[in-house]
Amino acid sequence: MRRYLLAALWPAGIAAIIATTVIKARQAGGTAGPGNGGGRSVAGPASAAGSGVAAAAGLGSGFADSVQQGSARTRYPAGLVPGVFRRAAEPVARRDWALGLLRLGAISCADGALSYEVMALLGRVVLNYGPAIDEPIVGWTTKNQIDWWAAVTERLNRIGRRSTIRGAAGTAAVCLAVTWRERKWLPPAVLAAAFLADYNSTRALRRTFRRPGPPDSPRGGYPCGGCDRVVLFYGLIAHLLWREFSASQSGKVWAIGAVSALAFNEGYSQQYLSKHWFTDIASGLLYGAVLLAPFLAAIRLIAGPAGVAAGHVRPALAAGKAAQTGAGTSWCSRRGR
């Protein structure tokens, strides 16, 4: 009976995460956020039309600077192009990529050093008090394994392997570099910096503590690398996707829920297969979160708040362009008379 309860822990945990995510997403759907009316204020259709008419009536004596739209250059009467639209049309990626790379490099270096210090402090506690917790758990888990479920869990555990993570991060870097509207260099640069920070910090921790893993997996040291990679890299990928294609509060909840499910799956698989001690697994999940947080802050620092550059100005931009076109036509017809 205990063996089946242990096996049932995985579907029960995944179901609990999904249920919690659905509830929170429904609650977030009714709140104002970057994707549903919150975030940075943008001129709506009425205000854009009003400003266009006012400009056509009183400021029609000159023309604004040319505004680049694709390959064509269109001129509008002075004042008909709101500042937010002009800023959105500027080639930001060409102007600030060098400064952005410097900021990202500085934050990633600080992140690696900070993560090492935090996990080094925790590592001393784990080494002193961990065996009393880990050995009974590993012994009980090994005794209550089911062969066919262990084979399934072995497959589930592959999402945290280095090769899988590298493939996922590389694919995401290429796809996001193509689909991001601005700062196309940022997704691959962030993922590459995360890889370097994780690799160097983890290597330093392994050399410092040299803690052997369980008897069946002596190379599973402190902290659990699979758990930290799942949280860090899938968390970054989910965040980058959310920023570009959603930026809503409900989308944010779904992204967090997806990463939480992957993290639970990795932690459960590592423990069920006795590849790591329990305290190493818990430390690995924390380690991934510690590594992830500064990179999320770096993305916000470089790209700005989510929702503005992620296409949520598009409805207002389209309305503004329509108002500008209508006002410009009216202004030209009056001048023709």
Domain boundaries, given as residue ranges, for the chain: 2-30+93-306, 45-88+315-336
Q: Which residue has better confidence, 94 or 282? A: 282
How high is the mean pLDDT of the chain?
78
DSSP string, 51-115: HHHHHHHHSTTSBPPPEEETTEEE--BTT-S-HHHHHHHS-HHHHHHHHHHHHHHHHHHHHHHHH
- Model confidence over 20-69: pLDDT tens digits? 999 999 998 765 444 444 443 333 333 333 433 333 333 333 323 333 33
Q: Residue 51, Cα to own-chain centre: how many angstroms?
A: 37
- Token pair, residue 35, equals 């994707």
Is a pLDDT exceeding 50 seen at residue 199?
A: yes
Tens of pLDDT, residues 130-168: 999 999 999 999 899 999 999 999 999 999 999 999 999
CA 323 to chain centre: 35
Evaluate if residue 83 carries a pLDDT over 80: no
Q: Is the confidence at residue 93, as pLDDT, over 60?
A: no
Residue 269, phi-psi category: left (phi > 0), alpha (psi -120 to 50), beta (remainder): alpha
Q: What percent of the chain is predicted at pLDDT more than 90?
A: 60
Instruction: Compute the distance between CA of residue 44 and CA of residue 150 in angstroms, rounded to an integer.
Output: 56
* Tens digit of each residue's pLDDT (9 = 90 or more) over 298-309: 999 998 888 754
